[in-house]
Amino acid sequence: MQRTVILGSTSRYRRGLMERLQMPFEVHAPEVDESPLPGEAPAALAARLALAKARAVARRFPEAVVIGSDQVADLDGEALGKPGDHARAVAQLQRMRGRTLVFQTALAVVCEASCFVQQDLAPVRVVFRELSDAAIEQYLRAEQPYDCAGSAKSEGLGIALLDAIDSDDPTALVGLPLIRTCRMLRAAGIALL
């Protein structure tokens, strides 16, 4: 019998990515404090939160295989979170224009019953174009990406803000690196295809 797969996330973007795998899965909120620790680097923050989310849900469903993920936008070692509102999104995009960021996308898969734990990081290097204030305003009014780390959605109009994306896992920038997810699910005993 195959174990239940649970996505430990409230993100509609991660849920949409999981749906691409055409497999049954449940979604449960991890209820984890996402505050960074003092001096915590963006990659370490993303990795810690991905594992914390997977473990929090796995404690409630110990027989399940639980996926946790987190993404932190890294601007020269500074973590940029989700803007939450228009003014913060404008400020983020103004800081990011003409610059290169690394979106640190972390993944963890946990099954308490089998003592399975795997974790990985899928960094995505993103080069933003030189953006005018008018272009920033037009983009934000059109897409309102206030729930996205870095204030942009590459899977939508946000692609027009960019000069380049460098990644070995194309879904990592959206928030869940599916190539790594599939690899870890197979390692945990979940049959895919």
Contact 14, 175 (CB under 8 A): yes
Please name each of the domains of the chain with its CATH number: 5-187 (3.90.950.10)
Whether 70 is catalytic is: yes
Q: Express as a percent the part of the chain with pLDDT over 70.
A: 100
Query: Which residue in 87, 117, 97 sits closest to 184, CA to CA?
Result: 117
* Residue matched to tokens 């999981």: 18
What are 62-84's pLDDT values in tens digits? 999 999 999 999 999 999 988 99
Contact 8, 57 (CB under 8 A): yes
Please give the pLDDT value at position 81: 85
Query: Which residue in 76, 60, 69 sits closest to 34, CA to CA?
Result: 69
Average pLDDT over residues 16-33: 97
69: phi then psi, degrees, rounded to nearest 5:
-145, 150
pTM: 0.93
Of 33, 70, 74, 163, the active-site residue reads 70
What are 124-177's pLDDT values in tens digits? 999 999 999 999 999 999 999 999 988 999 999 999 999 999 999 999 999 999
